[in-house]
Structure 1
Amino acid sequence: MNLALWIAAGLLAAVALLGGITKTFVPKEKLAAQHGGEWTRDASAGFIKTLGVLELLAAAGLILPAALGILPIMGAVTAICWVLLMIGAMVTHARLGQPKLVGLNAVYLALAAFIAVGQLAG
């Protein structure tokens, strides 16, 4: 079970890292022009960058606490926060009529829930 949790955390951390880098460093106009980035048209650049930074922190929070043995509960807390973030993403993509992205966010949500439950039970 521990290996499965590490794999799930690694996958989700990679997703968070990629999303965080994109939202933090790619200009809003370029994001809005990409499929899946349409939601950024109505969001402020500051909001988008804030989400990006939160995703970068999530990438670290999913891996570092357990890897370093410092406050390992923070991995579960990060995963729970990711669940909440994915609920917001699912609602946003549903409003834009993007069912494939809603499904993808549901997969990320399920991974995060698995991590949170597994780490809290472990």
Structure 2
Amino acid sequence: MNIALWIVQGIAAAGFVYSGWLKAFRYGQAKKSWGWVSDVPKALVVFIGVAELLGAGGLILPYSLNIVPVLTPVAAAALAVTVLGGALFHIKRKEYREIGVNIIFIVLALIVAVGRF
């Protein structure tokens, strides 16, 4: 079970690093990749990106370094809430094809949160 959780944590962290990096540091590329970015203030997009990057670190570092390991499931739960907010945003905008990715990352984050608590 531990190995499976590490695999899920790695996949989730990689996805959040990619998404967060685009939002926080490659705003122009994020704008081209995701239509919603143009309709949201740049500061909010960057904030979400930084939060995803910090959350990705939180998925891996606390548990792997055994420094306050309870922060790993807390980070996972916080990321699940963040992605749920994104899914609700896409539903409101009728961007239904975007929701699939949100659901995958909500599930990954919840697996980590439940598995590590």
TM over 0.5: yes
| Separation of aligned partners in 2, 1:33 and 1:60 | 26
Mind listing any 5+ residue stretches in structure 2 that lack a counterpart?
Answer: none
AA partner of residue 88 (structure 1): G
Listed one character per residue, the Cα deviations across residues 94-119 of structure 1 (whole Å, up to 9, x for unaligned) are 22323232121111101111111110
| Separation of aligned partners in 2, 1:15 and 1:87 | 15
- Aligned counterpart, 2:3: 3
- Aligned counterpart, 1:45: 42
What secondary structure, in the 3-state scheme, does the structure 1 residue paired with 2:68 have?
Answer: coil
Give aligned pairs, total.
Answer: 117
RMSD in angstroms over aligned alpha carbons? Answer: 1.3
Is contact 1:21–1:52 with CA below 8 Å preserved after alignment? yes
AA partner of residue 23 (structure 1): K
Mind listing any 5+ residue stretches in structure 1 that lack a counterpart?
Answer: none
| Separation of aligned partners in 1, 2:10 and 2:30 | 25
| Separation of aligned partners in 1, 2:27 and 2:9 | 28
Q: CA deviation at 1:44?
A: 1.1
Alignment partner of 1:105 is 2:102? yes
- Aligned counterpart, 2:81: 84
Is contact 1:90–1:105 with CA below 8 Å preserved after alignment? yes
- Aligned counterpart, 2:114: 117
Is contact 1:19–1:52 with CA below 8 Å preserved after alignment? yes
Q: Which moved more, 1:5-14 or 1:98-107?
A: 98-107
Q: Which moved more, 1:6-15 or 1:101-110?
A: 101-110
Listed one character per residue, the Cα deviations across residues 3-26 of structure 1 (whole Å, up to 9, x for unaligned) are 111000000000111011100112
Q: Which moved more, 1:89-98 or 1:18-27?
A: 89-98
Alignment partner of 1:74 is 2:61? no
| Separation of aligned partners in 2, 1:46 and 1:75 | 26
Q: CA deviation at 1:78?
A: 0.3
Identity %: 33
What secondary structure, in the 3-state scheme, does the structure 2 residue paired with 1:97 have?
Answer: coil
AA partner of residue 32 (structure 2): A
| Separation of aligned partners in 2, 1:90 and 1:43 | 15
